[in-house]
Amino acid sequence: MTPELFAAAAEVCRKFAPQRGYGLVYGSQAATGESRSDLDLVIVGRSRPGCHHMTELVAAVCGLHVDFDLLTDTEVDYETKLFATYADVCCAVELRCFPRRQGVLNSAPVVAEPDWLNSSEFAQRLVLNALTSEHVFLGGDVQRYRADRSRAERAVASLALAMVAKPEVTIQDAVAVLTRSPEGARGKDFLGYQPTARLYSTIQSGFAALAAANVVEFVDGARFRRCRELGGVVGPIQAA
């Protein structure tokens, strides 16, 4: 993000983020600052804004795209992706945004259909990704943001742990299963992650939190092993 774009996005956050809320920019602008890439922005707050307030927020974000000559991505409606409630964040960090079949998590790739892309489950997947991939904090309640980010890091580590079908897991294993589905889907077509230094750091932090909770234990400083007594905390995951 250029300093001017960052300042403009931070001003939108200041205007529209509710008390004890916060705002983030994630995606391509946060990762690489590509000059014309669309601006992925999300504001987190206790409850969704009313219709009038949401219309103003959408207009402000659309205005940023016009003012800075940014490309737009209309696959997901702004009303779906621009705001996440505390409840949405909780669903995301508890991995309830992923379907279960007979109690088993399903890591289904993205379904490029309007109804699915604008579902609450996909919106929650977006906020989980925003908190655990490259992002820029725009302002607001920094303590809540840090707490949500920590919970999201642990959730992504838990997701990776469940996806790896062996008793011991390395960070490299976790990165591999989060960035590519068994069928070969990657990036936005899967879970939205790229094998970047940020993802390695996120998974490392998440596994450290799981180790502190005795969900996993370190093995030789490079691998993590599920603890038998808490093996049911994170069950297996099923690919679509």
For 72-104, write each residue's pLDDT tens digit.
888 899 999 999 999 999 999 999 998 877 666
Domain range list for the chain: 3-238
What phi and psi values does residue 98 have, to the nearest 5 degrees? -105, 135
Token digits of residue 65: 């795209």
Is-contact 60 13, C-beta < 8 A?
no
> According to the model, what pLDDT value does residue 221 have?
74
Alpha helices per DSSP H over the chain? 3-16, 28-31, 51-67, 78-81, 86-93, 114-117, 120-132, 142-163, 171-179, 197-212
How is residue 122 written in tokens? 């996909």
pLDDT at 4: 94
Q: Which residues of 27-42 are buried (b: 16+ CB within 10 A; e: fewer)?
A: bbbbbeeeeebbbbbb
Instruction: Give the per-residue pLDDT at 1.
Output: 76
pLDDT of residue 210: 93
Beta bridge partners of 226: 216
Query: Which residues of the chain carry a pLDDT beneath 70?
Result: 34, 102-104, 228-240
State the pLDDT at residue 112: 82
Both tokens of 116, joined, read 């699915």
pLDDT for res 61: 97
**pTM value?**
0.91
Q: Is the separation of the CB atoms in 67 and 199 below 8 Å?
A: no
pLDDT for the residue numbered 234: 42
Per-residue pLDDT at 63:
97
Contact 102, 180 (CB under 8 A): no
